[in-house]
Chain A
Amino acid sequence: MNSFTEYFRGIFNGLRSLFQGLGVTGKYFFKPGTTVTQQYPNNRKDLKMFDMFKGEVIMPHNEKNEHKCTGCGICEINCPNGSIEIISATIVNEDGKKQRIIDKHIYHLGMCTFCGLCVKTCPSQALAFGQEFEHAVFDRTKLTKVLNQPGSKIMKGVE
């Protein structure tokens, strides 16, 4: 007799647990307002990443095409996997002194692990993280970027 009631209680409790789970899914089925799906490729226009988002390393330029990079090479030393290469040049500035400037600030996006050490250690805050996150390209060479824009100069007052 005892095992008989146990048997039916087992069936009843089992069915109840299944319907309890179905109740949860049913609640969301009949409340479409609770869905959180983002229509990703279609919402590109108003998709905004967080300010801190580490998309890729960029070098911000102002409206006069000037950047803050002095070519000191601290980012190159701090990069754990060699994604930054700095090719510097020496020019004679207005005061007649020799000055070391960057010729090319080469950034290998394919090697970057987004640790943020280059941005953090830069003494003149010349580097920043961009918001771009769609990095897929057809050719690997397109992942090598030159961060300083052509014809750009160093901002005045940055040592």
Chain B
Amino acid sequence: MEEPIKAPVPEQEEYVINMGPQHPSTHGVLRLVVSLKGEIVQNVQPHIGYIHRGIEKMCESITYPQIIHLTDRMDYLSAHINNEAVCLAVEKALGIEVSDRVKVIRTILSELTRIQSHQLFWATFGMDLGGLTCFFYGLRDREKVLDIFEETCGGRMIVSYNCPGGLMNDIHPNFQKRTKEFIKYFRDTLPEYDRLLTGNVIFQERLKNIGTVTREQAIAWGLTGPVGRASGLSCDVRKHNPYSAYDRVTFNEIIYNEGDSFHRYKVRMDEMWESMNIIEQLIDNIPSGAYAEKMKPVIKLPEGEYWQSVETARGELGVYIVSDGNKNPYRVKFRSPNFVHLAPLNLMSQGAKIADLVAINGSLDLIIPDIDR
């Protein structure tokens, strides 16, 4: 009697696979070392650093206006908001009050950035979960925002439009017209997103009660942005610590209490409506004035430590500058939301299936260059 051939991996044995660094659903070079028992995830260990460029260290050897273009390359989907964070920190340190025109234009462009980032999130999230149509529809609408950026800022994703003291150049005469056209178009198109994906039964079944984070856990892990707000944590920097022109507009902070992947998605969908509301309040009354304050050719910050946080499309971005009075900063630290959101991935996906890991990873909307910097 021959012995039966044993299965190469016994059912109860834990085994380890690498997801990434070249996996399409990690959206970049993130390597997840996943321990599995059958199909159940036991442990997820993220390995980062594949796109580390040392941006914080590079900032120490360049001047303040030159830092701006490096922040574009951290979270490339909220490039404009990253620029704004550094500019606000430098302006706060120098005690410069920028004109109302600059504040309003910065706010409009930040909200447009938020819309295009959430559009791409919607597009890639649909693609991760098996709906390739979403990718084309999302990018089709995102193109319209990128055209607005290209006409005014000169760049599509990497805008580099802010500079300490104001903006690089004035807005294009078509800016208001194009933005209004886009808002009108997108108000009609956004319900289509819901019909296509949000209501879809397969989509809902794959996301509801997957990767749940409680409010206490969200506070403990420092989650901010849509991820924190889906868990019922009120953490919108625009509401609690308004910068630029956010104190003069009315908008709702989207908060859900469920904390699962589906509600992280819902927060972003609702935020697009709020962003459109904010833009509509501002676009018709951009005040006249200078688009940039007169700055010294060499900007030197007074000795001290400066902190400024802004709400990017993904959460709270903090810029911490230590100056020793020179034209270069002594130390720059970016508190990036994606790095913080990667940490509880293990907590969220323990006990879930490996297909759920893709859903959870997608719902966090991680941008890998922002994690590694």
**Contact with B66, one of A17, A53, A117 (Cβ below 8 angstroms):** A117
Instruction: Provide the bound-state CA to CA distance between A63 and B350, in Å.
Output: 70
Q: Are B154 and A54 in contact (CB-based, < 8 A)?
A: yes
On whether A17 and B200 interact (CB within 8 A), knowing A24-B195, A115-B66, A117-B66, the answer reads yes
- Set of chain B residues within 8 Å of A78, measured between Cβ atoms: 65-66
Contact with A along B44-64 (1 / 0, CB 8 A): 000000000000000000100
**Minimum Cβ distance to chain A for residue B275 (Å):** 22
Instruction: Provide the bound-state CA to CA distance between A54 and B73, in Å.
Output: 16
**Contact with B172, one of A13, A52, A116 (Cβ below 8 angstroms):** A52
A110 within 8 Å of B (CB atoms): no
- Set of chain A residues within 8 Å of B168, measured between Cβ atoms: 116, 120
Interface size on B, residues (CB 8 A): 32
Number of contacts between A and B (CB, 8 Å)? 73
Q: Are B196 and A24 in contact (CB-based, < 8 A)?
A: yes
- Set of chain A residues within 8 Å of B197, measured between Cβ atoms: 21
On whether A114 and B163 interact (CB within 8 A), knowing A17-B199, A50-B150, the answer reads no
**Contact with B151, one of A14, A36, A50, A113 (Cβ below 8 angstroms):** A50
Q: Are A115 and B172 in contact (CB-based, < 8 A)?
A: no
Q: Are B150 and A53 in contact (CB-based, < 8 A)?
A: yes
**Minimum Cβ distance to chain B for residue A18 (Å):** 7
**Minimum Cβ distance to chain A for residue B65 (Å):** 6
**Contact with B196, one of A13, A21, A114 (Cβ below 8 angstroms):** A21
- Set of chain B residues within 8 Å of A23, measured between Cβ atoms: 195
Contact residues of B between 280 and 311, Cβ < 8 Å to A:
297
- Set of chain B residues within 8 Å of A25, measured between Cβ atoms: 133, 196
**Minimum Cβ distance to chain A for residue B62 (Å):** 5
Between A and B, 14 residue pairs with Cβ closer than 8 Å are A17-B200, A18-B202, A23-B195, A25-B196, A52-B151, A78-B65, A113-B73, A113-B158, A114-B155, A114-B158, A115-B160, A116-B160, A117-B66, A120-B168
Q: A18-B200, A23-B195, A78-B65 are in contact. List 14 more A-B contacts (CB 8 A).
A: A17-B201, A20-B195, A20-B199, A49-B150, A50-B151, A50-B154, A51-B151, A52-B152, A52-B172, A54-B154, A113-B158, A116-B168, A120-B163, A129-B154
